[in-house]
Amino acid sequence: MEFMKLSAPTLKELFVREMESAILSGRLTVGERLPPERELAGQMQVSRAVINGGISDLARKGFLYVKPRAGVYVADYRRTGTPETIRSIMEYNGGQLRS
């Protein structure tokens, strides 16, 4: 009998999932500024490297945008999203694409 390899999500993956959930549920609204990385890291009890990597992934997916020297903001993912954005929305909605 063969078993499937098990793998646990990394802290960065968990951070990305949490932020996607907050954005898609409306807890974080379009245009809202995120707390600084140091503050987020303290609140979530992870390193700044986890936060920084997660922010990069979320920006690539169209959920966040970074304004140098101004902060990180929630992007209008419905307008600037990528195919990865649609995938994240479907995963959040249990495989359904809702409007």
Tell whether the model's pLDDT for residue 99 goes beyond 70: no
- Give me the mean pLDDT over the 68-73 stretch: 94
User: Cα-flanking dihedrals φ and ψ of residue 11, to 5°?
Assistant: -60, -35
The two three-digit tokens of residue 18, written as one number:
């949490």
Which residues, 6 or more positions from 31, have their beta carbon under 8 angstroms from its beta carbon?
A: 73, 74, 76
pLDDT at 97 over 60: no
12-70 pLDDT tens trace: 999 999 999 999 999 999 999 999 999 999 999 999 999 999 999 999 999 999 999 99
